[in-house]
Structure 1
């Protein structure tokens, strides 16, 4: 018989990512959100390989971050359009992640980004326990928070200093350094997935644009073509020099010895 004096009053275990909803059933708000997320993720490959050679990181796109238990459960989550968190496994127990559960992980994302379809009021909402801004700042304590208004092309980036967000001023290139990631965040005008607009892009700390896969292919093709042209020019110069040398030899052979 168990001695009741030795039993521990263990509280109900907090749910994990397999026990919480992975969607609230709402539509994506615009056609730019998913291409924008893919563009950000695709161009970070080399950076993440350098930062995490062990592969211990994850990136979320419209994925829930659970920060408190509520009823219904999804009311206790925020789903940033894009976020990155380092030093966590990409999978849990060999299964793909359904959501990111702060009370299980204990590591907060380094940066969250919201792509505002409207005027950004929802993304700047500081209402306690309800507003996105308040939750990211006061509960999750995410070091960097970016708000991009798609319609106006306006980008704001906030950095957590002590206990509050401070709005950052862009550098001379118009970018915002995200030092833990060794990159800069900024805006790039161009065509991606058949959409011409201002896109969020990454640069390195020297101001070089981080390329996505097809851009890297084009760059390598251009480099190969330039190398081919250089080699062809060298070959033509060598042939011209050989012809000139042969001509000089011919002249010397036909000179009158007297």
Structure 2
């Protein structure tokens, strides 16, 4: 293993030269929709935080932190991560991977979805423990990449652990009164939500705002807008019906008034025939 030397930055490979996959595959069918949920629901928040569009999100994308042989040995691929204040494209193209010695800026948060017993996601093994030691995920995120927030989500246990980097070491965050974990730089909270998404009723990892309002996915926002439009349509229809009823009532009042006038005119005519002045009767 050889650590990249800062004196030769121009010779180091970039994302186009490093492998974008180590040949492994996603371990279960829930991971992909879970990533979609996280990304889709956080997009409006990130759009407000980054009006210039300078951020990127990785999903099962490699983060190269150490130049080794083979190259994949010096990379980790979080199931989901977010990097603030970096361009979404490099040279007009999507990144094949995230290369720390080229990018400089570390992700703000990395999230791992546990498929096994969680030991891989909590592995603190240092690559310096022995000549053939492979660095554990936990160690890499904490000591090498230094990601400020690290979350470990276990769908089978309906739980999530969130760690914050404090004084160069991860400290587990205590949930707030809502059972959520604040990610202050993003102005959001992370927690578990039980419900049906993509035809799967599961405990999903979701975002909330700081007031405890669930951040909706694009599909949920679309459905919400659809329901709101339908409610507006129903209200407009009700208003139309009320206006029509008012019009009918006004017309009925007009007809009644006209009928009363006609009766009064007939009575006055009859009285005149009898030689009686209707106004004199009125004055009595």
Corresponding residue SS for 1:85? strand
Would you identify which runs of 4 or more consecutive aligned residues in structure 1 move more than 4 Å? Answer: none
* Alignment: residue pair count: 249
Do the aligned partners of 1:190 and 1:199 also contact (CA within 8 Å) in 2? yes
Name the structure 1 match of 2:209.
204
User: More displaced, 234-243 or 200-209?
Assistant: 234-243
Q: Does 1:228 align with 2:242?
A: no
Question: CA offset at residue 150 of structure 1?
Answer: 2.1
Q: Are 1:178 and 1:184, in contact at CA under 8 Å, matched by a contact in 2?
A: yes
Gaps of 5+ in 2: 1-6, 128-134, 266-281
Q: Are 2:165 and 1:150 equivalent residues in the alignment?
A: no
| Counterpart position of 1:16 | 14
- Assess if the C-alpha contact under 8 Å between 1:118 and 1:151 holds in 2: no
Residues 117, 149 of structure 1: 8 Å contact kept: yes
3-state SS of 1:20 partner: coil
Rg larger in structure: 2
For 1:246 and 1:42, locate their aligned partners in 2 and report how far apart those are by CA, in whole Å: 54
3-state SS of the aligned residue for 1:98?
A: coil
Change (3 A) 1:103 1:248: same
Q: TM-score, normalization: structure 1?
A: 0.90
Matched, 1:163 2:168: yes
Instruction: State the match for 1:3 in structure 2.
Output: none
CA separation in 1, counterparts of 2:75 and 2:20? 10
Q: CA deviation at 1:131?
A: 1.3
Aligned to 1:99: 97
Distance in 2 between residues matched to 1:152 and 1:105, nearest whole Å: 35
Number of the residue aligned with 2:123: 125
TM-score (norm 2): 0.82
RMSD after superposition? 1.7
Structure 1: gaps spanning 5 or more residues:
1-9
Structure-2 residue corresponding to 1:246? 251
